[in-house]
Structure 1
Amino acid sequence: MLSPMREPTSNAEEFTVDELASRANMTVRNVRAYASRGLIDPPRLEGRTGYYNRSHLQRLQLIRQLLDRGFTLAAVEDAIVKSPTTAPGHALELMTLLGHSGGDDPSVLMSPDDLAALANVQHADPLIDALAELGLVERVDERTLRILDPQVVRPGAAAVALGLAPETVIDAVPILREHLRAIADHLVERVSDEIVQPFVDQGLPENEWPRVFGAVEELLPIASQVILALFRSELQESIEIEVGDKLQQMGESGPEGSASAS
């Protein structure tokens, strides 16, 4: 059973099976296997050569993403066959919204000396090794680092420069990741269940795509703002408690110090 791919293809660029496989980052054998299972439409034939278009490419990209996310090929086939009117471009956009992809590559290049200066440390090698283990930097060569997540590395280095031990900052990363990932998974699951699933159950009506995209696009940044606001509130409360404890300790040790002196 074939799954119609209904995105407009007029004036679309066309590819041979080898070009299609290369663009989809898979083997020609896999492309032909998916075609034999009815997961993509037959190509346009010109003589004995088949020509594929952007819709074929998007469908293959969708299949690859679903497989990469842990779905079995049987589950992918079932989902595609049951939603024959779903444009693969729409599905990819929705998966991007619900996934954790950040769009453009945020990485930047930096020298080890620049990182050492940012963290105000004399020798950056231990810090670099620790960051590399966390997947935050990688060595390009002896003089160049690729900072894979500058929004984490730069504030972390600044915290070290302010006086925190590098180990303290490094140890905080997996703790933050664990808790924030749990929060992220919970929020995405709720959005999926309460907004996306009803839309899927209705058969993915074309006229509802803008509403669903808009809702998901707005809700996820709102959730990020709420998380940041709550963290700031909890951080402020934690600081106040810690400062209060220190002041109390000073008050309790003060009279003892005076008595001893007398």
Structure 2
Amino acid sequence: MEELAEAAGITPRTLRFYRERGLIPPPRREGRIAWYGPHHLARLRTVAALLERGHTLNGIADLASAFESGRDVGEVLGLGEPTEEEPVRLTPEQLADHFGDQVTAENFAAALDLGYLATDGEEIVHVSRRLLDVSSALVDEGVPLAAVLAAARRVRHHADALAELFTDLLRAHARDGDVDRLRPLAKSVVEAELSMALDRRLRARDAKA
């Protein structure tokens, strides 16, 4: 314990306190001997980094609990890597850099439930760099992360329905039924319709002003 505390730049008493609060996982035990490994040091450095970013110990403890219960990356991506999206590996500190103090246990759990995030050891994997960048940009614009995730759940529902519609349409009528080859056509239709829908919404809002 003393060696781990020294490597992390904290006192053994602080390390014991962190362990009691659930900020780090328990050590591996062999009889009366407790073994700490590199993942414990990584977690302690994460705790220090989150404290520097203004997170409280209670908030970090809740986040650690959500992290420990998170779905493994193999479970989220087990059906295959996204064909067009680039997964991003993040440390908890890097995730906090994107979203600041809005990286709460509740938001983390919501992102895990959506399948946006997964865990891989001490790392976090976001399934899509584009979605990560857009979510971060929306938060920078003042949209709460909880609202972004709630909207994402609604978008997911509509996106699944659109994917089913186009898959059925192309398999039933396209010459070779190759949905993957024709997916750019489906994406173009959705992008154009969304653009026109936004135009209609904005014009309607301006007319009421």
TM-score (norm 1): 0.33
**TM-score, normalised via structure 2 length:** 0.40
Between structure 1 and structure 2, the one with the greater Rg is: 1
